[in-house]
Amino acid sequence: MDGGTEMSEHGDTLLTTRDERQELIEPLLTPISTPIQGEMADESLASSVSTAFSGSSGHDDGSPDLVFISADKVSFHTHYARVCNASSNNFNFLLPNSPEALTETGVFQLAEEAAVLNVIFHCIYKLPFEIYDPALSTLLSVVVALQKYGLSLQQYLIIGTPLYQQMSLKTASSPIDVYTVAASNDLFDLASVASSYLLSYPVDELSDEVSITMGPVYLRRLFSLHTQRLKALRALMASPPVEHPSTPACGEVEKKRLPRSWSLFCTSIAFYATPDMSSVKLRSVLETLGELMLCDVCKQSLLDRVQELVVQWSAIPMTILRDPLGYRAGT
């Protein structure tokens, strides 16, 4: 055989030159995150077409001139102008600076799954996507992909956007992940939503990796949320129920029972309290003091103070503040 090839004993051609072997295996080594077949991919690689972004979706004037194929082989038909105008890096440097550089409809293979790309293109086209009910894990992957493709989180993940709404609704399933992502990108409003679900989270057990990803500012805000709520609770409980004037049934000695019992109860509560203590639980614990009171006036004084305390405790912020010094008892 010419060119250094040989025949096997079965009559098959053996590739013995380095160039021939390289030509055979090179497509297998091409990273999926970059376009294949040079700059362009083959649309036949797709096994299905996105219903929201098909060739006839009609989201913009003119026919789609860009096709993106997801890792799970779903094609998305989009418009060069729309995608490039939204991206600060030509969609992770996949697209040329002008549509004229595309000889035909551009077809590009991407590394993301269809569920992720579906949300991304809905964001770019400013379309709602709640009908798809994406999982939180998908939305977190969307945040990573938005940055990869040069799409501003300050535009697509702020209050009022579909992505913000969906992430807020699903934050409860993994608030620490949402908080970490929001913190690392200085998305205060989303971080604030997530922090309300972290009142019972053991912040002292945060890993170094997560703490570093959050950054010092948001890590401090989360710790302050916990410590300042407990500090505020202790300050609120420091004021006992008001003593009533002495009566024949409840004199100077008897009426001291209420403030002493209050002090003991509150000391115990302060020791075991957690930042997520509910107003209902606080009320139920303190109102049991009434069982120790023989005086009806003392009992009413207790109920009045518990009601006041519950209202004050409800007013203590349950989310992070931009300024952690903003946690003040009774404000």
Residue type, 51: T
pTM over 0.85: no
Task: Note the pLDDT tens digit of each residue in 11-20.
Answer: 444 444 545 5
Does 91 have pLDDT greater than 60? yes
What confidence category does residue 47 fall into, taking pLDDT thresholds of 50, 70 and 90? confident
Closest CA to 38 of 103, 88, 91, 113: 103
d(CA 11, CA 14): 9
Exposure of 324 by Cβ count < 10 A (0-12 exposed, 13-18 middle, 19+ buried)?
Answer: middle
Share of the chain above pLDDT 90, in %: 65
Mean pLDDT of the chain: 85
**pLDDT tens readout for residues 59-85:** 777 788 899 999 999 999 999 999 999
Residue 23 banded pLDDT, cuts 50, 70, 90: low
Token reading at 102: 């595309």
